[in-house]
């Protein structure tokens, strides 16, 4: 898949960049704390998440003001600004859409769905919360904010360990580097402070869209108790708890998360992993015990290309080893 980039303007002229991928009913995706539309598309694990969600749908993401490809806005981050940015992107769509908010994007999505019941068809909340001050005690929040402000490099590494403990070392290293490339330390601190300040508790009862709340039971960034608060506060919300500790949606068992979301949205589930024909060929050879050199010889490609195929398969399936790829292929065929 190829993503298409565009821009919208806020009332004050601030340019907000957005990206679309796939075709079909729109699914607007409100990103978590920091994002970069181009760099995230280059991270295999994160891209695999977006491509999986975009099968049979049009996935629309955007960089919030001050992040990635979007300009900074004045006077700075706030819930009102978040809603203005989301609505500016939503205006580009010509019909009601599904809305998915992850992490910090979840309370923003709640507030938007409550204010625009005519626009939101279905609502998905992943790794979210109703009241940010309940995420951790004040001393912990102050420590994290101070660390970001004083040492952005170390701060990004510490937060990555919290956000993605189930990810392999390469993915965690890439995620920490990615955070630093998304924004300045000052913007990162201000946005994280906003996430602690967000409180949509009083808005939960105003949400009218059918809602799915999905959360990993061991999430270290957003305690699972927050998922219960969201589900209990929104009428008839469906709550799905998944095993795992990773807060980042593309870390851990990404495919099960995608299946849960696609089922709720009424999209075909497909087969686990959504591998390309070439990747399935490579997975079949891995299941036969072939080395990268042997795979290269069998397929008429060089060894480096074979190695790249295996790595992308591993990341797409959320596995840690070739043995897991082999076992998975022998099971699903």
Question: Which class is 277-332 in CATH?
Answer: mainly alpha
Q: Where are the domains of the chain?
A: 4-265, 277-332
* Residue 277 neighbours by CB under 8 Å, 6+ apart: none
* Per-residue pLDDT at 272: 52
The strand pairing partners of 18, in sequence order, are 6, 62
Mean predicted confidence (pLDDT) in 258-275: 82
Q: Where are the beta strands (DSSP E) in 177-297?
A: 211-216, 238-242
Q: Can you give the pLDDT at residue 87? A: 98
Conformational region of residue 213, where left means phi above 0, alpha means psi within -120 to 50, and beta covers everything else: beta
Task: Give kind and range of the element (H or E) at residue 98.
Answer: strand 97-102
CA dist list (Å): 62 to 185, 237, 274: 20, 26, 24
**Within 10 A of 321 (CB to CB), how many other CB atoms are there?**
10
Instruction: Compute the distance between CA of residue 221 and CA of residue 224 in angstroms, rounded to an integer.
Output: 9
The secondary element (H helix, E strand) that includes residue 59 is strand 57-62
**What is the gyration radius of the CA atoms in the chain, in angstroms?**
20
Look at residue 271 in the predicted model and tell me its pLDDT.
52
User: How far apart are the C-alpha atoms of 141 and 118, rounded to whole Å?
Assistant: 36
Burial group, residue 118, by CB count within 10 angstroms (0-12, 13-18, 19+): exposed
In this structure, what DSSP letter does residue 224 have? T
Q: Decide if 219 contacts 247 (C-beta within 8 A).
A: yes
Sign of CA dihedral 190, 108, 27, 55: positive
Angle at 99 between CA 97 and CA 104, to 5 degrees: 155
The answer, yes or no, to whether residue 254 has pLDDT greater than 90, is no
CA distance 222 to 162: 10
Beta carbons within 8 Å of 26's beta carbon, 6+ residues apart: 57, 58, 60, 93, 95, 97, 98
pLDDT digits (tens, 9 = 90+) for 128-175: 999 999 999 999 999 999 999 999 988 888 888 889 887 777 777 888
d(CA 179, CA 7): 22
**Predicted confidence (pLDDT) per residue in 187-227, tens digit:** 999 999 999 999 999 999 999 999 999 999 999 999 999 99
**pLDDT of the residue at 201:** 98
Evaluate whether 171 touches 204 at the Cβ level (below 8 Å). no
Kindly tell me the sign of the dihedral angle through the C-alpha atoms of 286, 290, 291, 296: negative
Domain range 4-265, CATH architecture: 3-Layer(aba) Sandwich (3.40)
Q: Quick check: 313 pLDDT over 80?
A: yes
**SS3 label, residue 293:** helix
| pLDDT tens digit sequence for 221-232 | 999 999 999 999
Handedness of CA 229, 175, 63, 51 (dihedral sign): negative
Q: What is the pLDDT of residue 138?
A: 95
Question: Of the candidates 80, 45, 37, 42, which has an alpha carbon nearest to the alpha carbon of residue 62?
Answer: 37
Contacts with 272 (C-beta within 8 Å, 6 or more apart), sequence order: 255, 259, 317, 328, 332
């Amino acid at each position: 898949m190829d993503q298409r980039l565009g821009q919208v303007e806020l009332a004050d002229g601030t340019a907000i960049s957005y990206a679309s991928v796939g075709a079909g009913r729109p699914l607007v995706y409100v990103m978590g704390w920091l994002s970069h539309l181009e760099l995230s598309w280059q991270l295999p694990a994160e891209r695999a998440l977006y491509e999986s969600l975009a099968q049979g749908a049009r996935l629309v993401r955007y960089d919030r003001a001050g992040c990635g490809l979007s300009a900074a806005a004045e006077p700075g981050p706030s819930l009102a600004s978040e809603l203005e940015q989301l609505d500016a992107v939503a205006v580009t769509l010509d019909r009601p859409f599904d809305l998915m908010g992850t992490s910090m994007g979840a309370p923003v999505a709640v507030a938007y769905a409550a204010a625009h019941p005519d626009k939101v068809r279905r609502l998905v909340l992943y790794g979210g919360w109703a009241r940010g001050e309940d995420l951790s005690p004040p001393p912990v929040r102050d420590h994290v904010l101070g660390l970001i402000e004083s040492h952005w490099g170390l701060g990004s590494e510490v937060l990555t360990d919290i956000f993605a403990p189930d990810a392999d070392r390469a993915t965690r290293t890439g995620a920490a580097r990615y955070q630093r490339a998304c924004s300045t330390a000052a913007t990162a601190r201000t946005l994280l402070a906003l996430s602690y300040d967000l409180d949509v508790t009083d808005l939960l009862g105003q949400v009218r869209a059918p809602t799915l709340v999905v959360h990993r039971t061991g999430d270290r960034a957003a305690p699972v108790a927050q998922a219960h608060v969201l589900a209990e506060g929104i009428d008839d919300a469906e709550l799905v708890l998944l095993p795992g500790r990773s807060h980042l949606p593309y870390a851990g068992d990404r495919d099960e998360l995608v299946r849960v979301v696609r089922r709720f949205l009424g999209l075909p589930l497909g087969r686990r992993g959504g591998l390309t024909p070439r990747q399935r060929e490579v997975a079949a050879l891995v299941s036969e015990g072939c080395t990268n050199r042997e795979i290269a010889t069998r397929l008429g490609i060089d060894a480096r290309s074979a190695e790249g195929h295996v790595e992308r398969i591993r990341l797409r399936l959320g596995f840690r080893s070739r043995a897991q790829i082999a076992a998975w292929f022998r099971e699903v065929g």
